């Protein structure tokens, strides 16, 4: 193999062992219905995300992961599309957040893209939102590229929220008046806002 080449066979084996280890450690802690759901769900070979950034009009409708391996070019495009549109600053988006969006998209079986209202947020934007009383936390996971606020056209916010809860992963905020759902890769918790 040439110097600098990426050994995909080794990466797949490593990812598989890591995944198996995580599952074996987490299984006793997971609720039984969620284990049953995880056992039934089989991801396709290619993982395609459909996203539309409502602030910039930019869209992503492409495969970002094949056989469990993320595609660097697709991740770079997603990082740009999910940037802080106020400052044009980007930060790598947590891949497990992208995987949650993908699983949610599969669960809802909608062909439409998620409308992304907010993803990465720069410290300056987060501070401005907090000062305006718009509920931005100083510890927001948006600052780390670990949170996203989404709507799904043709799907009521309460149905999107319920589907996210059924996946049972990370933080899930429901904002019925604003019509969106917050997803993050922090500790499992859920709340209702306005």
Give me the CATH number covering residue 55.
3.30.1380
14 occurs within a structural domain? no
* Residue 26, domain member (yes or no): no
Beta strands in the chain (DSSP E): 46-53, 59-66, 69-70, 114-118, 147-151, 171-175, 180-184, 189-192
Chain-centroid distance, C-alpha 138: 20
Residue with tokens 């079986």: 109
* Mean pLDDT computed over every residue of the chain: 84
Residue 140 near residue 159 (C-beta atoms within 8 A): no
Mean pLDDT, rounded, for 142-151 = 98
Task: Count the domains in the chain.
Answer: 1
pLDDT tens column, 108-127? 987 899 999 999 999 999 99
Q: Would residue 64 count as lying in a domain?
A: yes
Domain range spanning residue 162?
43-192
Percent of the chain residues past pLDDT 70, beyond the cut? 79
Residue 38 lies in a domain: no
- pLDDT-based confidence at residue 40 (cuts at 50, 70, 90): low
Would you say residue 59 lies in a domain? yes
| 27 within domain boundaries | no
- Residue 3 in any domain: the answer is no
């Amino acid at each position: 193999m040439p110097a600098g080449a990426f050994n995909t066979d080794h990466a797949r084996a490593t990812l598989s062992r890591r995944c198996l280890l995580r599952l074996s450690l987490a299984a006793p802690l997971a609720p039984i219905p969620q284990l049953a759901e995880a056992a039934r769900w089989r991801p396709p070979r290619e993982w395609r995300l459909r996203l539309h950034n409502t602030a910039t009009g930019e869209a992503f409708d492409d495969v970002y992961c094949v056989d469990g391996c993320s595609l660097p070019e697709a991740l770079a495009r997603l990082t740009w599309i999910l940037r802080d549109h106020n400052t044009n600053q980007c930060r790598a988006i947590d891949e497990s957040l992208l995987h949650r969006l993908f699983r949610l998209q599969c669960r809802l079986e909608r062909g439409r893209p998620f409308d992304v209202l907010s993803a990465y947020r720069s410290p300056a934007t987060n501070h401005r939102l907090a000062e305006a009383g718009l509920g931005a936390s100083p510890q927001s996971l948006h600052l780390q590229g670990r949170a996203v606020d989404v709507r799904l056209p043709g799907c009521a916010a309460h149905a999107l929220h319920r589907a996210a809860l059924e996946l049972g992963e990370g933080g899930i905020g429901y904002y019925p008046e604003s019509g969106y759902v917050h997803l993050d890769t922090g500790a499992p918790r859920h709340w209702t806002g306005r």
